[in-house]
Amino acid sequence: MPKKIKDCWAEKSPNSPGRSAPARAGARRAVELLGAPDDRGVLNVGGRLGANRGPAAARRALSQFMLGMDGAVGRVRLGRGFDVAPGLSIEEAHQALREAVADALRSGVAPLVLGGGHDYGYPHVAGAFDALGAKIALINVDAHLDVRPPEGGLITSGSPFFLALESGVVRPRNFVEFGIQEHCNDAGFGEYIRKKRAKVVMLNEARAARGGAVAYFERLVAGFIRKKMRVVVSFDVDSVQMAHAPGVSAPQADGFTASEFLGMAAVCGEYRGVATIGFFELAPALDLGGMTARLVATAMHRYLSALGRQKVPA
């Protein structure tokens, strides 16, 4: 019988944090799925709820896929992983994910993070900082800048990169906002990011670039790697047109096409300097026939396939 991904990934019980198994000697790459089933940050900003079930939906959709015509996914040591416990507060849950990401990276395993609200983009990059140090770069693929300060002390799904910049886990010159849309951001957010001197690539700019959006994204990734940096990529699924991704907290009439989104995910798997990626804001209860979950799972598959085709360094 043909094997599906669920027949090949290493099982790990949900909600069972602990050290990730070290990468097997000679394995091309090892990946573990880390879930953050929490949308309290979305609630705090008044968004549409449902992203707390995103990790389960993404895993379920991915589990049914085949290993690929060349079996590339089967050459990745893939762990089903676990979900971090929501804890009593967002801060407690963020710390749990931060530790899980750092633990995986220190073990030579690439964590693939599944949200949950995009506030978990902060512990995602913070965990990479803890494990890899200051030589990390961050690319946020998103319609929103997500630099909203916590309001009344409440962290929101719009806060991750305000928290990352203010805490120093990522330097502004090593941070790119990619696919940003005017109507999703106000002047205050724009002024904040300009003062920080981080790079902002608007959606129209990405489309108009030489070779298109995927080629531009690849140049950004390759440019950071040439500088000997490890790259973290945070994909907010609302960066994709709602025609392709209706099941998200903040759907957008315009955005990247499904093909562009999948192309960027594949790029992440083609470069060994990409340390970890994450997908956020998938909200299955808001989806249409599971199409957004399948898009995220297909993006994960493109990433894993590209990893499986990487040459083992000497």
Say whether pLDDT at 15 is over 50. Answer: no
CA 239 from centroid of its chain's CA atoms: 12
Helix H or strand E encompassing 298: helix 291-309
Confidence class for position 20, pLDDT limits 50, 70, 90:
low
To the nearest 10 degrees (0 to 180), the angle between helices 258-270 and 213-226 is 20
Report the alpha-carbon distance of residue 283 to residue 116 in Å, rounded: 8
Domain ranges of the chain: 5-309
Q: What is the pLDDT of residues 90-126, one digit of tens each?
A: 999 999 999 999 999 999 999 999 999 999 999 999 9
For the beta carbon of residue 181, count every other beta carbon within 10 angstroms: 19
Distance of CA 269 to the CA centre of its chain: 13
Residue 28 has pLDDT above 90, yes or no: no
Q: Which candidate, 252, 307, 314, 245, places its Cα nearest to that of 276?
A: 307
pLDDT of residue 11: 82
Token representation of residue 193: 């990011």
pLDDT digits (tens, 9 = 90+) for 148-199: 999 888 999 999 999 999 999 999 999 999 999 999 999 999 999 999 999 9
Model confidence band, residue 64 (pLDDT cutoffs 50, 70, 90): very high
pLDDT at 163: 98
| pLDDT given at position 17 | 53
Q: Report the run of H or E that residue 304 belongs to, with start and end.
A: helix 291-309
What is the percent of the chain with per-residue pLDDT over 70, rounded to a whole number? 93
pLDDT above 50 for 14 = no
Domain 5-309 fold is Arginase; Chain A (3.40.800)
For 212-250, write each residue's pLDDT tens digit.
999 999 999 999 999 999 999 999 999 999 999 999 999
Per-residue pLDDT at 12 exceeds 90: no
pLDDT at 219: 98
Asked if 300 and 265 touch (Cβ cutoff 8 Å), the reply is yes
Contact between 28 and 75 under an 8 Å Cβ cutoff? The reply is yes
